[in-house]
Amino acid sequence: MSDSLDRINWPVATRRLSLRRLEVADAQATWDYRKLPEVQRWITSRADDFPQYLEQFMKGKRYSRDVAVQLLDAQGQPQLIGTVMVKVKDGWGQSEIEDAARGVEAEIGWSFNPEYGGLGYATEAVRGVIDLCFGPLGLRRVVAECFAANEPSWRLMERIGMRREGYSKRDALHRGGQWLDGMSYALLAEEWPIRSEA
Ligand SMILES: CC(C)(COP(=O)(O)OP(=O)(O)OC[C@H]1O[C@@H](n2cnc3c(N)ncnc32)[C@H](O)[C@@H]1OP(=O)(O)O)[C@@H](O)C(=O)NCCC(=O)NCCS
């Protein structure tokens, strides 16, 4: 379903940022910050070096479900400062009507260069991506999950008004070897009324 992002007229501007599709040529720019221990600690896949990272990046065109978030630097050049994943997926439906539940929601996720942290850029980008989910993509629900110990991530979800739907006790295995608590958040299109009409 990665081609769902083709339905959007890129690039998309938010107040301070520009959003576009992530491309193969962005592999190095994303590795530059995804390799940092404070970023790798929370993301799904880690790599030891760039070749290993590139393999993961390319596998099944994984990069193609990510939105690249760009900020103009002092010279007016766009800098890639983070990515927001949009994985369009099926909702759950009873068997006779399950076709009507196909491709109606998205799981979103993010990682940003900590050099640009604490300025609301990730918040702004995720809001922009949710606008796209409920606007041109026409989805009915957006979900996001994180380890409960990843406070910056769930604070972001709460800042933008996502609703906490679940707190699971020690259900998620961290690569540190411990089973950690997890949290899940969601939003319905009707809970995002003003922006989805924008
Ligand atoms: C999750 C992550 C994106 C959050 O980064 P962040 O810097 O906290 O998020 P933002 O860029 O939106 O900045 C928000 C902070 O800037 C502040 N801020 C400043 N100006 C702001 C503005 N205009 N709008 C919103 N927030 C603003 C906020 O108060 C907030 O700080 P606080 O948490 O101390 O209150 C980042 O920690 C990250 O990439 N982590 C590693 C990867 C990861 O965990 N991915 C998620 C896996 S589930």
Residue with CA nearest ligand 1 atom 27: 120
Tell me how far the alpha carbon of residue 157 lies from the centroid of ligand 1, in angstroms: 10
Alpha-carbon gap, residue 117 to 101, rounded angstroms: 37
Q: Which fold has domain 2-144?
A: Aminopeptidase (3.40.630)
pLDDT computed for residue 194 by the predictor: 64
Tell me how far the alpha carbon of residue 8 lies from the centroid of ligand 1, in angstroms: 25
Alpha-carbon gap, residue 187 to 161, rounded angstroms: 8
Report residues of the chain scoring pLDDT below 70.
1-2, 194-198
pLDDT computed for residue 74 by the predictor: 86
> Are residues 151 and 183 in contact, defined by beta-carbon separation less than 8 angstroms?
no
Residue with CA nearest ligand 1 atom 25: 120
What residue segments make up the domains of the chain, in order of their start?
A: 2-144
- Is ligand 1 within 6 A of the CB of residue 58? no
pLDDT computed for residue 198 by the predictor: 43
Which of 31, 119, 180 has the most ligand 1 atoms within 8 A of CB, as the residue to mutate? 119
Atom of ligand 1 nearest to the CA of 125: 12
pLDDT computed for residue 73 by the predictor: 87
pLDDT computed for residue 20 by the predictor: 98
Cis peptide bond upstream of 11, omega within 30: yes
